[in-house]
Amino acid sequence: METTIQKTDTQSPAPHVADSHDLIRVHGARVNNLKDVSVEIPKRRLTVFTGVSGSGKTSLVFGTIAAESQRLINETYSAFVQGFMPTLARPEVDVLEGLTTAILVDQQRMGADPRSTVGTATDANAMLRVLFSRLGRPYIGSPAAFAFNVPSVRASGVITVERGAKKTEKQTFTRTGGMCLRCEGRGTVSDIDLTQLYDDSKSIAEGAITIPGYKVDSWWTVGIFIESGFLDPDKPIRDYTGTELHDFLHREPTKVKVNGVNLTYEGLIPKIRKSFLSKDREAMQPHIRAFVDRAVTFTACPECGGSRLSEEARSSRIGGINIADACAMQISDLAAWVRGLDEPSVAPLLATLRQILDSFVEIGLGYLSLDRSSGTLSGGEAQRVKMIRHLGSSLTDTTYVFDEPTAGLHPHDIQRMNDLLLRLRDKGNTVLVVEHKPETIVIADHVVDLGPGAGTAGGAVCFQGTVEELRASDTVTGRHLDNRAALKEKVRTPAGKLEIRGATANNLRDVDVDIPLGVLVAVTGVAGSGKSSLIHGSIPAGSGVVSIDQGAIRGSRRSSPATYTGLLDPIRKAFAKANGVKPALFSANSEGACPACAGVGVIYTDLAMMAGVATPCEECEGKRFQASVLEYRLGGRDISEVLAMPVAEAEEFFGAGEARTPAAHRVLGRLADVGLGYLSLGQPLTTLSGGERQRLKLAAQMTEEGGVYVLDEPTAGLHLADVEQLLGLLDRLVDSGKSVIVVEHHQAVMAHADWIIDLGPGAGHDGGRIVFEGTPADLVAARSTLTGEHLAAYVGAPR
């Protein structure tokens, strides 16, 4: 008997309970300066987090939401696997609900390993290797034969197989790699100036070796040369025989016994290569870096011409192009070449490769080449390269977290970045963006504004809602969202000029330009047009130039604004003088350090396979100093209380009264000038944002001797309200007699400049030319370049 079931309920069905989880809920967040922050963020929407620098945006988005998502994902792995992962502590927050998998696309620069390139950092290089192994003629081997990270291997021997009757077979093994033998896949070779390593008129015992750290009484450096038995330590190096000189400079690692201890002796040059040249130059201490710059020159490898690839790998071609040629092409040209290949046997591979290369062009990186070393990319470029792998991803319902994705982008390119963010959202993802640029804030579905101030004056949610509601709000961001800097009515008169003639660095095309001195000069143009090549790569040496770029500040978790700027020295001396004791007592890295935590203030506990934890030191309660040191006072404060002061309070403290210290007051004044008045003197550098680190660098280098300051995007990480303060600082620098050259994309800085040098018209080989020189008003009136069009729109100039 047939049964028919009829639906009589005409109302719409109740929503499924699974569809109710459409919010990320954060309650009671207290990471860094957050003050019990509670927010609800809609999923599958684009949410922009705004607020002045230091207001807590990064602490909420990266330090709380993204950190907990990653920690929970790591906990799904076995304890064994977790042992190989970075340890993440649980953020200080009461409730976190509705999290999805977080993918961080931040501005951390890529590793500066010489074998890491734009191609290896994405899938593009791997796909090209497969393509050449299939279509390249002559055929030379598998994809590994085209890889500059893979050396060729040959081996032969005897193998015994025990299966039933024993059988001995002779085996040979070969693997063809693409690594250049001379430079080992680095593309450059180093030449060492021996006169910088030693003084040949002295003996080793007399201190002939002049390398930093190589002291005569050092057992591990000079001591092994003296005691090895290969050399006469009392004989001047210039009197060595050929054998002695070879043993001193080039001897292969050899086991020796010195005073009953087994040690390895090797020549000075291989020792230098291992200890200095294998490291990232930027990670070196300043005196070591100065030695390497003095003693070592790097030139393109003569064997491979800098391509990193063996002659065999370069011999295989597709239509006259080898893989080195392909990787050296500008990516926009490479994309056109790949589109011209029509081979059905590799059609899916070609389609995917075309998609990746087109993504580079779409994201504004078409001017790069795949063989560009990843360590040379700016923070903004590195962030966009990381985006490439996510654009074609099939994953949905994930949370993408971006840190100022517009950094380093010309206004012309910001629209393309906005389109990409919206595409990620429209695929069903939650997109969280920390941003200052109004062009990106206005496309948000939801805005969370933190503040009202920075540091201890921030850490609270001032506003949540739509962009229109933000405009109507009375928050700092709401008031400044539609502010526009006006063109100067009167510009300064130059006091001279800095001549650049025949500049050809990177993509520059024999550029001649006169940079006016004694004024504020803005160098503009789309990303990749040649701005940095012109300013950082072409200004003549010895021009009294102080360059403040976007390189990261290197330092340990002990480093702080006080140590980095040299502020701690006069503070220590003032404490020592007031109390009649040694200055070393007031250093957490020296005699005054708490013995329990070695002056760090926290105890790091490694829990082996589980996430390690950091707990405040119980001995000093996080103050970092011995109790006896804290009894000494200056102006009624002990050293730990002074290091806990914000810059603004410390400036007042050291400006008058018993604690008056002019040397410290000057440094604090510079820190306040660059907008860092809210930072604590002893705050670890590892907790600072990118914009804060750059402005700290500016404050530290403002005393450098030199009449020309070169700043690379000083507005990076600055809130709209802070940009006004920066413009005031630039004016003060110029009015004090300095010349200031700013490589910048922010229209407020362009409008405020006395002179603009605009490069273009495009990026890569489409740029490298001066397309405009003159005042901002002339640029707006002419509207002859992309920069001119966007600046005219920004200042509201009539057409």
pLDDT tens, residue by residue, 209-224: 888 878 877 767 787 8
Q: In this model, does residue 10 exceed pLDDT 60?
A: no
The alpha carbon dihedral of 723, 728, 731, 732 has a sign of negative
Q: In this model, does residue 758 exceed pLDDT 50?
A: yes
Q: In this model, does residue 1 exceed pLDDT 60?
A: no
Distance CA 754, CA 521 (A): 6
In the DSSP assignment, the letter for residue 462 is: E
pLDDT of residue 468: 94
Over range 364-379, report the average pLDDT: 85
pLDDT of residue 2: 47
pLDDT of residue 5: 47
Contact indicator for 54, 679 with CB cutoff of 8 Å: yes
CB burial readout 608-629, b (16+ within 10 A) else e: eeebeeeeebeebebbbbbeeb
Q: What percent of the chain has pLDDT over 70?
A: 91
pLDDT of residue 387: 83
Over range 675-685, report the average pLDDT: 84
Over range 743-763, report the average pLDDT: 93
Query: Distance of alpha carbon 36 from its chain centroid, rounded?
Result: 30
Higher per-residue pLDDT: 619 or 372: 372
Q: Which of 120, 108, 113, 109 is nearest to 371 (CA)?
A: 120
Q: In this model, does residue 512 exceed pLDDT 80?
A: yes
Kindly state the tokens that stand for 150. 């893979």
Over range 754-768, report the average pLDDT: 91
For 271, the 3-state DSSP assignment is helix
pLDDT of residue 614: 62
pLDDT of residue 86: 66
In the DSSP assignment, the letter for residue 435 is: -
Torsion, Cα 128 131 132 135, to 10 degrees, reads: -160
Lowest mean pLDDT among 444-448, 540-544, 656-660, 775-779: 540-544
Q: Which of 774, 660, 772, 675 is nearest to 726 (CA)?
A: 675
pLDDT of residue 89: 75
- Band of residue 608 on the pLDDT scale cut at 50, 70, 90: very low
Terminal CA-to-CA distance of the chain, rounded, Å?
Answer: 81
Name the residue type at position 359: S
pLDDT of residue 746: 92
* CA 180 vs CA 130, 151, 174, 312: distances in Å: 19, 8, 17, 9
Size of the chain in residues: 799
Q: In this model, does residue 3 exceed pLDDT 60?
A: no
Q: Are strands 446-451 and 46-50 parallel, antiparallel or unpaired?
A: parallel
pLDDT of residue 179: 93
pLDDT of residue 278: 64
How many C-beta neighbours within 10 Å does residue 228 have? 19
Which residue bears the tokens 């803005």? 522
Over range 251-275, report the average pLDDT: 82
> Over the chain, what is the mean pLDDT?
85
Lowest mean pLDDT among 39-43, 206-210, 476-480: 206-210
Q: In this model, does residue 611 exceed pLDDT 50?
A: no
Distance CA 779, CA 36 (A): 48
Higher per-residue pLDDT: 790 or 692: 790
Lowest mean pLDDT among 14-18, 401-405, 444-448, 609-613: 609-613
Distance CA 797, CA 791 (A): 9
For 714, the 3-state DSSP assignment is coil
Q: In this model, does residue 432 exceed pLDDT 70?
A: yes
How many C-alpha atoms does 136 have within 13 Å on its Cβ side?
26
pLDDT of residue 709: 87
Angle at 364 between CA 333 and CA 756, to 5 degrees: 110
pTM: 0.78
Q: What percent of the chain has pLDDT over 90?
A: 36
* CA 411 vs CA 109, 407, 772: distances in Å: 22, 10, 17
How many C-alpha atoms does 693 have within 13 Å on its Cβ side?
18
